[in-house]
């Protein structure tokens, strides 16, 4: 069995911070290119270049919203003890280095077996290719051996189910529902996940 976690994109939600591995925004794909209209980095649109100071202040502004859920380290340690691989799939504009700095700060990077950030690929959740990419990152080819955990019914649950995975919804009142999304389980905090893993193992 493989566990694939997702990252929340709601900066203003305390619940999102408490229910996700890593809150990050969705938007431009490359942080070292000029910032343009509609969140794209198009020089011809913005006519500005993001300086190192600008990028530093940008990430500092996000810092209070990026703390890893306190349930994550013990959960990931237990999954590692059981031999269950962990992957992260995030719809994000941030580069890998920004995510990894946060994971290092919160002492969980070494507990993650693979990660895919949509800033690096051509798809975003709920596209099945995004889910295939994170499976490849942890060396898994069978989606039925994977459990995807997320708080977005459309992006996470509908997407994971469409890719053939089990899906666990962690409730977040700030995220709109999606009627067609039918999770295999619903939890209110990550510490509840192991009961479902035990049931499915």
- Whether 53 is in a domain gets the answer no
- pLDDT, residue 11, reads 35
- Whether 31 is in a domain gets the answer no
The DSSP H or E segment spanning 186 is strand 185-187
- Whether 56 is in a domain gets the answer no
Per-residue confidence at 1, pLDDT binned at 50, 70, 90? low
- Whether 39 is in a domain gets the answer no
What's the pLDDT tens digit per position in 138-189? 999 999 999 999 999 999 999 999 999 999 999 987 888 999 999 999 999 9
- pLDDT, residue 51, reads 83
Beta-bridged to residue 116, according to DSSP, are 89
What is the CATH number for 183?
3.40.50.1000
Q: What is the pTM of this model?
A: 0.78
Q: Nearest 5°: CA angle at 23, between 19 and 25? A: 140
- Whether 159 is in a domain gets the answer yes
- pLDDT, residue 47, reads 66
- Whether 35 is in a domain gets the answer no
What's the pLDDT tens digit per position in 2-23? 666 665 443 333 333 333 344 4
- Whether 109 is in a domain gets the answer yes
Q: Which of 196, 201, 27, 165 is nearest to 98 (CA)?
A: 27
Number of structural domains (the chain) is 1
- pLDDT, residue 200, reads 95
- Whether 32 is in a domain gets the answer no
What's the pLDDT tens digit per position in 58-96? 888 888 889 999 999 999 999 999 999 999 999 998 899
The sign one gets for the Cα dihedral 65, 66, 67, 72 is positive
CA–CA separation, 51 vs 104, rounded Å?
Answer: 24
Give residue 108's domain range.
2-23+68-200
Beta-bridged to residue 148, according to DSSP, are 4, 167
């Amino acid at each position: 069995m493989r566990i694939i976690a997702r990252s929340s994109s709601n900066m203003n939600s305390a619940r999102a911070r408490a229910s996700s591995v890593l809150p990050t925004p969705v938007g431009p794909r490359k942080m070292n290119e000029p910032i343009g209209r509609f969140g794209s980095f198009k020089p011809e649109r913005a006519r500005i270049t993001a300086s190192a100071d600008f990028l530093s202040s940008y990430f500092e502004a996000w810092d209070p919203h990026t703390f890893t859920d306190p349930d994550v380290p013990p959960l990931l340690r237990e999954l590692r003890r059981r031999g269950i691989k962990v992957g992260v799939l995030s719809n994000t504009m941030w580069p890998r280095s920004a995510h990894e700095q946060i994971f290092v700060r919160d002492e969980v990077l070494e507990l993650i077996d693979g990660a895919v950030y949509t800033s690096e690929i051509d798809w975003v959740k709920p596209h099945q290719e995004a889910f295939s990419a994170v499976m490849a990152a942890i060396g898994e080819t069978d989606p039925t051996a994977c459990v995807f955990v997320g708080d977005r019914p459309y992006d996470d649950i509908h997407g994971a189910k469409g890719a053939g995975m089990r899906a666990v919804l962690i409730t977040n009142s700030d995220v709109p529902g999606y009627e067609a999304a039918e999770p295999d389980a619903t939890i209110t905090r990550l510490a509840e996940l192991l009961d479902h893993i035990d049931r499915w193992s």
